[in-house]
Amino acid sequence: MSDTTTRGNAYLTPGAVVGIVGGGQLGRMMAIAASRLGFFTAVLSPDVNAPAVQVSYQHIKGDYDNRRALSELTERADVLTYELEQIPLEGMQWVSENAYLAPNIHALDVSQDRVKEKAFLNSNGVPTTAWKECRNVADVKTALSEFACDSILKVAFGGYDGKGQEKVLRHAGASDIAKIWDRLSLGQEMVTILEATVDFDCEISVVVARDKAGNVVPYDPVRNHHENHILATTVVPAGIDPAIGEKAQTLAKTVASALEYVGVMCLEMFVTTDGELLANEIAPRPHNSGHWTLDACLIDQFEQHIRAICGLPLGSGNRFADATMQNILGTEREKVGLYFPNHNARVHLYGKEEWRPGRKMGHVTILDRLLCDPAA
């Protein structure tokens, strides 16, 4: 730990240590940003060759609920953050009581539980699709009748990238619902939410940064396209009505402020065919749909996150080029070489060893309408 800083100080100085819980690609890009600003990083991950571990100063090997490993991380770091929300809340609660954790434990708690998340959004004036908490088949049947439309049944805890959810048809009977329930529950007790489907024009998201003083810097709204429930492409500008874009930024800023958030977060939303905005999910961390900022903004989302949690002033979120970000998945290894001849493309690979279907191995950002020609 740096002897020039104290946990919770107004700002950290070069040489301080940023502790990161999680060893994935988001942690990797956090660590690179921290290094540029003169900070060291210590990563807690059970994988000795995780993407973030490869570029960090220190590695603490252990599971995310390992109290010894968490204690070691808090001792080494001047500030702690996390790069994924699928981590045991109890361990992170302990961290928050013994060190400076940003984002705070409230943000993690809300984002881990879809029931809490939807209730939080609605209580703060952020609209969502109609939803109901369901604890058994009868609850689902009742909610389905109330919605009178096809719906999506989602587990309250642990689902991501389309996992832990299934469509329930409007006229599904109790036996059909029971089969869906059994597939999701795997024979265990579970809490779910049923969400009414909506007709939407597109899916968008807004990444925002908020500092300790409450200053909020939004990035431009982006349009997202998913394939098999996994983000495939992000495009900015989003091609939506400017008034909708401004409202989307306002909603994201509202969520960040209500959470008393410190760091970078993302709010995913639907733009309905009626031009309304409905919030879908909160991501309490830098987000896949914000990766384009690495190449099209002066201050990218990862540096912004490090600035915020270390008490440094936030930078500009202004965009200097249009951009398309495409994820590189585990079945697309041969595609990587095709991007290099494009002078407006920048490839980012995450250092993962095993290329397998559906796994995010990297991304490429293709710029357009540049202020200057990088090939000149």
- Distance, in Å, from the CA atom of 107 to the CA atom of 103, rounded to the nearest integer, reads 7
Query: Which CATH number is 250's domain given?
Result: 3.30.470.20
One domain for residues 174 and 28: no
Q: What is the count of structural domains for the chain?
A: 3
pLDDT tier at 371 (50, 70, 90 boundaries)?
A: low
- Omega prior to 237 cis, within 30 of 0: yes
Position 264 in a domain: yes
Q: What is the pLDDT of residue 1?
A: 44
User: Has residue 159 got a pLDDT over 80?
Assistant: no
Do residues 130 and 147 touch, judged by C-beta distance below 8 A? yes
Mean pLDDT of 158-180: 87
196-253: pLDDT as tens digits: 999 999 999 999 999 999 999 999 999 999 998 899 999 999 999 999 999 999 999 9
One domain for residues 214 and 329: yes
User: Has residue 103 got a pLDDT over 90?
Assistant: yes
What are the DSSP calls for 227-272, one per residue?
ETTEEEEEEES--S-HHHHHHHHHHHHHHHHHTT--EEEEEEEEEE
pLDDT tier at 3 (50, 70, 90 boundaries)?
A: very low
The token pair at 70 is: 């968490």
Position 106 in a domain: no
Instruction: Examine the fold and report which residue of 157, 172, 196 is the final residue of a domain before the chain moves on.
Output: 196
Q: What is the pLDDT of residue 4?
A: 39
7-32: pLDDT as tens digits: 545 799 999 999 999 999 999 999 99
Do residues 263 and 103 touch, judged by C-beta distance below 8 A? yes
User: Has residue 56 got a pLDDT over 90?
Assistant: yes
Do residues 108 and 284 touch, judged by C-beta distance below 8 A? yes
User: Has residue 376 got a pLDDT over 70?
Assistant: no
Q: What is the pLDDT of residue 297?
A: 96
Tokens 């609850």 appear where? 139
Reference 266, options 275, 278, 279, 277; nearest CA is 279
Q: What are phi and psi of 122, to 5 degrees?
A: -65, -40
Q: What is the pLDDT of residue 244?
A: 98
Q: What is the pLDDT of residue 372?
A: 55
Position 318 in a domain: yes
Q: What is the pLDDT of residue 182?
A: 93
One domain for residues 244 and 325: yes
One domain for residues 192 and 216: no
Going by the DSSP 8-state scheme, the letter that residue 318 receives in this structure is: -
- Distance, in Å, from the CA atom of 105 to the CA atom of 190, rounded to the nearest integer, reads 23
- Distance, in Å, from the CA atom of 72 to the CA atom of 44, rounded to the nearest integer, reads 9
Which runs of consecutive H residues, i.e. helices, occur in the chain?
25-36, 67-76, 89-98, 105-112, 114-123, 137-147, 174-185, 242-258, 293-296, 301-309, 336-339
Domain range for 151 is: 130-196
Q: What is the pLDDT of residue 15?
A: 97
The pLDDT > 70 percentage for the chain reads 95
One domain for residues 86 and 137: no
Mean pLDDT of the chain: 94
User: What does each C-alpha distance from 68 to 60, 72, 91 come to in angstroms?
Assistant: 10, 6, 10
Instruction: Examine the fold and report which residue of 158, 179, 196 is the final residue of a domain before the chain moves on.
Output: 196
278-335: pLDDT as tens digits: 999 999 999 999 999 999 999 999 999 999 999 999 999 999 999 999 999 999 999 9
User: Has residue 340 got a pLDDT over 60?
Assistant: yes
Reference 167, options 190, 185, 184; nearest CA is 184
One domain for residues 156 and 298: no
Query: Which CATH number is 142's domain given?
Result: 3.30.1490.20
Mean pLDDT of 58-81: 97
